[in-house]
Amino acid sequence: MADVGALLNDMCAEGDELDELVAGLDGQQWALATPAQGWTIAHQIAHLAWTDGVALLSANDPDGFAAVVEEAMRNPFGFVDEAADDGARARPADLLSTWRLGRAQLAEALRGVDDGRKLPWFGPPMGVGSMATARLMETWAHGQDIADALGVTRAPTARLRNVAHIGVRTRDFAYATHGQNPPSEPFRIDLVGPRGEAWEWGPADAAQRISGSALDFCLLVTQRRNRDDLAIETVGEDAAHWLTIAQAFAGAPGKGRKAGQHS
């Protein structure tokens, strides 16, 4: 069983690290374009702030969360961009304050959720551990967009294991978003962590296998790098195909990145 307290600590640490990256930016830097088409750094932080706020509703006000879902369904393919656009219009200092407050409130709320309680979400309901992992993953992924916009190379941390884990767990979801049936057999995933740690998922004798750098795997499942630019090896046609559609995030299939875009 996952250590929920440790997951929440990792979630907070991921937010704090990104905060350090953006806290000193000037107005022109907040307006820099990121690899996500149409999104500036301000859009990235606004999206994180909005999603943290919605997660807070999920924990504290399920009826309020249901109202957000109902509103989103009126524009299912555009509500995320609309929310980011709205938030990005704020003064950078105000946007930063909003994001900081929302992160703190969400962490406090999740620490108070009763054991075993499931929180409603845009997909299946999630326990606190899954919610914390999802928020960490999204913070890391959008933080990568911001780092790319600033030309900054971030040092990978052990928190990547959480991102890799959600990437593995969402295998079948990725097939579903593409209208495909997932393979019936589990895959074997062998990754090397930032300090040379061996991170493993699936049976050791699985015929379909994926191996490589944990960082590269996380960049792939969050669609922050193109498959062709990553040092990931596969054995088996099903494993190779999954890496062309993998996505650790909820929602419709993403557009990903072009090969060589970040070289």
Phi and psi at 159, nearest 5°, equal -65, -15
| Domains contained in the chain, CATH given | 4-150 (1.20.120.450), 160-245 (3.30.1050)
> What number is the average pLDDT over the span 50-66?
97
Give the confidence band of 203 by pLDDT, cuts at 50, 70, 90: very high
State residue 5's pLDDT score: 94
Asked if 177 contacts 76 with a C-beta cutoff of 8 angstroms, the reply is no
- Report which residue type is found at 21: L
State residue 121's pLDDT score: 94
State residue 235's pLDDT score: 98
| pTM metric for this prediction | 0.95
State residue 232's pLDDT score: 97
> What number is the average pLDDT over the span 156-173?
97
Asked if 141 contacts 109 with a C-beta cutoff of 8 angstroms, the reply is no
User: What kind and span of H or E run contains 80?
Assistant: helix 79-88
- Over the chain, what is the mean pLDDT? 95
State residue 115's pLDDT score: 87
State residue 76's pLDDT score: 87
pLDDT digits (tens, 9 = 90+) for 42-56: 999 999 999 999 999
pLDDT digits (tens, 9 = 90+) for 11-46: 999 999 999 999 999 999 999 999 999 999 999 999
Percentage of residues in the chain having pLDDT higher than 70: 99
Q: Enumerate the β-bridge partners of residue 209.
A: 188, 235
Q: Is the pLDDT of residue 1 over 70?
A: no
Asked if 139 contacts 18 with a C-beta cutoff of 8 angstroms, the reply is yes
Q: Is the pLDDT of residue 263 over 80?
A: no
| Three-state DSSP class for residue 160 | helix
Q: Is the pLDDT of residue 59 over 90?
A: yes
> What number is the average pLDDT over the span 117-136?
94
Reading the block at residue 178, the tokens are 């593409």
